[in-house]
Structure formats: structure tokens, C-alpha cells
Amino acid sequence: MTSVSLTVNGKAVTADVEPRTLLVQFLREGQRLTGTHVGCDTSQCGACVVHLDGEAVKACTTLAVQCDGRTVTTIEGLAAPGGTLHPMQAAFREHHGLQCGYCTPGMIMTAVDLVRRKGHHLDEATIRHELEGNICRCTGYHNIVKAIAAGAEAMAAEPVREAAE
Amino acid sequence: MYAFDYHRPTSVKEAVGLLTDGAKIVAGGHTLLPTMKQRLAAPESLIDLGRIPDLVGIERTPRSLTIAAMTTHGAVAESAEVKEAIPALAELAALIGDPAVRHRGTIGGSVANNDPAADYPAACLALGATILTNKRKLSSEEFFLGLFETALEEGEIVTGVSFPIPHKAAYEKFRNPASRYALVGVFVAKRPSDIRVAVTGSGSNGVFRWTEAEDALAKRFSPKSLEGMSASPDGLNSDLHADAAYRAHLIGVMARRAVQKAADR
């Protein structure tokens, strides 16, 4: 076992883990943060996307030990204390950007990272291209794209705290 | 995946000291970890290069661009220095995997793995890059030996890649839409001394130079010089995604597009 200390959604966490523990297992099974999903488990589908030091990564292809000393934000860390939704979460609700909801946490974490990199005014082509690492098996992309465009604008209008990052 | 010991050295020297028989180096981990999950690899220990400060960064000199091994694809894709010096290289990095993969995957991992469908080996070969290790400097021709095979010896670690700055260059990639690997990728470089065309994704022995196209382009650097040309299907892969004849055709198409793109720069 190896000791890891990291910040998860703003809270300091220390745990003993086997080196082979994936970040997604650590989050779901160790921290009971089950909002991060496992879809394909092969770094294709994006259901497990979280932020590592503010950058979107696939938690199924990152070891928990690699995150020692670093900061992880999951979908549970996006909403403000008290439960006010992050503007990107609110946009997904408003625009019906989800059907079964399985891909949604990864879609939202990817979308927030996209805004960080490309700004608040995103055209449809950019959003679709940037979503190539996130698969929606309900094929509900149309509303996801609309939600991200709206969420990105809303993030500019309503600067929230930097999540837990 | 099977259990392993985990080491996180803070210097290349320390990493080399840990590099025993059953050990494997992990850079971004986006090839190794999936392989370990499938139990196709079962190293006794992993040596994580992720905390070695010397292995991250991009350095520009008047004639070259040196990218340290642990620099991520995302960092290369967004680097103002890379975009200015060799825009084709930034574009290539932006076509690897997807955004989350690019935040983890590294140039050193890509070249050391020498996947026959990886993108960076084509850039290295076409631009005439030098692969830097803890022991020596190797030309790309010396370094890339074949399918997942490189000239790396025991106790040798890739520390960076140095690219001479070309007059013009471009990369065109026909992506497999599922894996996002290159079904065919062609990197064309007009260098001060010559023109090189390197092809990835196709060769059954990994990345290679398409010399017929190089000769044709030496006369005139224009897509017209390659009109009607396609690569020889001998030695190209046939698999469920594309047969050798289709790949041979695509190489011609991608090469013409790359030359056009480079010529327009």
C-alpha cells in the first residue's frame, strides 16, 4: 500500500491505496463520489472525466498514486455550497442536455475544461470537435452541444467561484 | 491489472537507478495503463516520470525547437512557440486522441512506444528530429527500428526531442474515427537541405519515408508533382479498417493535401 494525499473537491484527503488503484476507483469506491462514472474503462468514452489540477483527464486511465499532492475536482465539486448549480450544470438542465444521464458528468467536466481553454463564445463546430472524447450512447448530442454553448456564455455572465479548484 | 510497486523519482538519474529488469517507465500512461488493464503487460514496478522538472518544457533556439519528454500533447498543441516555429507540429499534437488524452499523453511516451499508428514518429522522421536520451543523441532513422521497436537500450530513457525548424511543413491525417489513431498520416517537410515525406499508420514495420514522393517534390514543391501517385501497397497493413491498396491510395491523397497546406504557408 502507498499513502496518497490529495485535495478532492476542496477537501484534503489522505488514504492508503494499492498502486494499481485507478483514480476513478479511488473516487467512487474510496471516497464514495459516485458521480464520476465508468463507461468503457478504455479511455474512449469520457464518462469518467474529472479535473486534475484544473485539466480534464480520464480517471479510468490515471492512477490514484499519480495524483498525490495534486487537486482533483469531480462533478460533485462543481455546484456552489448550498447546492446552487454551476452555470454549466444549469445549462444542461435548461437545454435538456441529457437523456439517460450516464455520460453527463463527463460531458459537463469536459465542457468546463473547454471553456477554460477556448473561452466563452463557442461555435457549434468547435464544441462538436472538442467532444470527440465523450460518447453519448443515447446519441443526444444536439442538446448537449446547445447546453454547452449556453453554459459557456452563462459562465462569462456569472463568474462563479473556481469550483473547488 | 496485476499489482506492481510504484516509484516516483525526482531526477532522471534516480529513474535510471530504478530501471531494473521487471520495471517499466510510465509517462502519460495512455498506452501502458490500458495495456496493463488488459493484462498484456504486467510490470513488477512502474517508474513514474511525472515529477521530474527537467523533463517538462519547450525551448526555442534560432534553428531548433526542443521539447522535453514529459511535455504533454496539449501543451505542444497550445504552445505559442511551437505554433510560431513549426505550426505543423502544434497541429499534429492537436489531432492526437481527444482533449483529455492530450492532457496526459506525452511526446516522450509516444516516440519511445513507437506505435505504428502514432503521429509523432512521422513528424520526427520528416523533420529530421534528434531523439535525446540520458545517454546519447540519435537521429530519427537510427531511433525508430520497427513495430513498437526503438534503439533504446537497457537503462536508457528518452529525455526530449529536438526538431530542426523547416522552411515549411504540414501534417495530414486520415483518422480512424473510433480510435483517433492515424489510418494514414503523412508529414511533409521542406527543409533547408531537402524535402522529406514520412508516413505513419500504414507500414507493417512502422513509420517510413516515401522516397518516390520526395524525389518528385524535389523537382517542384507542389501537389501537382504528386498527381496520380500512390504509394506501393507492398509492406502496408491490411486490417479490418482498411486494406493495403486503400492505404496506398490514401497516402497519395494525404501527401498531396499536406504539400498544398505547406505550400500555402
Find residues 22-61 of chain A whose CB sits inside 8 Å of chain B.
41-44, 46, 49, 52, 55-58, 61
For A2-77, give the CATH class.
Answer: alpha beta
pLDDT in 10s for each residue of chain B, 265 residues: 999 999 999 999 999 999 999 999 999 999 999 999 999 999 999 999 999 999 999 999 999 999 999 999 999 999 999 999 999 999 999 999 999 999 999 999 999 999 999 999 999 999 999 999 999 999 999 999 999 999 999 999 999 999 999 999 999 999 998 888 999 999 999 999 999 999 999 999 999 999 999 999 999 999 999 999 999 999 999 999 999 999 999 999 999 999 999 999 9
In a domain, B103, yes or no: no
Range of the domain at B40: 1-47
CA distance A74 to B164: 41
CATH of the domain at B33: 3.30.43.10
What are B229-237's contacts with CB under 8 Å, separation 24+? B229/B255, B231/B199, B231/B202, B235/B203, B235/B204, B235/B205, B235/B208, B236/B202, B236/B203, B236/B204, B237/B116, B237/B202, B237/B203, B237/B204
Residues of B in contact with A56 (CB under 8 A): 99-100, 103
DSSP state of B166: P
Q: What does CATH list as the number for A87-157?
A: 1.10.150.120
Q: Alpha helix (H) ranges present in chain B? A: 12-18, 32-37, 73-78, 80-85, 87-94, 99-102, 107-113, 120-127, 140-143, 211-219, 244-263
Residue spans of the domains in chain A: they are: 2-77, 87-157
Kindly state whether residue B125 falls inside one of the protein's structural domains. Answer: no
Q: Which of residues 59-78 of A touch B (CB under 8 A)?
A: 61-63, 65-66, 68
Any chain A CB within 8 A of the CB of B3?
yes
ipTM field: 0.94
Inform me whether the C-beta atom of residue A130 falls under 8 Å from chain B C-beta atoms: yes
Residue B35 lies in a domain: yes
Asked if B33 reaches chain A (Cβ–Cβ under 8 Å), the answer is yes
| B chain contacts of residue A67, beta-carbon cutoff 8 Å | none
The answer to whether the beta carbons of residues B4 and A19 sit under 8 Å apart is yes
Confidence bin at A162 (pLDDT 50/70/90)? low
- Whether chain A has a CB inside 8 Å of the CB on B18: the answer is no
Please identify among residues 133-152 of chain A the ones whose CB lies closer than 8 Å to any CB of chain B.
133-134
CATH number, domain at B180? 3.30.390.50
How many structural domains does chain B have?
Answer: 2
A146: its cell numbers? 446547445
Nearest CB among B37, B99, B104 relative to A62 is that of B104
* Closest CA of chain B from A42, distance in Å: 6
Point out the residue among B2, B101, B180 whose CB comes nearest to the CB of A58.
B101
Cβ separation A19–B99 shorter than 8 A: no
Question: Given CB atoms, is B243 within the 8 Å cutoff of chain A?
Answer: no
Across the range A47-67, mean pLDDT stands at: 98
Chain B touched by A16 (CB under 8 Å):
no
Torsion of CA A41, A46, A48, A50, to 10 degrees: 140
B48, B97, B100 ranked by CB distance to A66: nearest: B48
Total Cβ atoms within 10 A of residue B72: 22
The reported pLDDT for the residue numbered B177 is 82
Residue B113, all three cell numbers:
512506444
Strand partners, B45: B5, B23
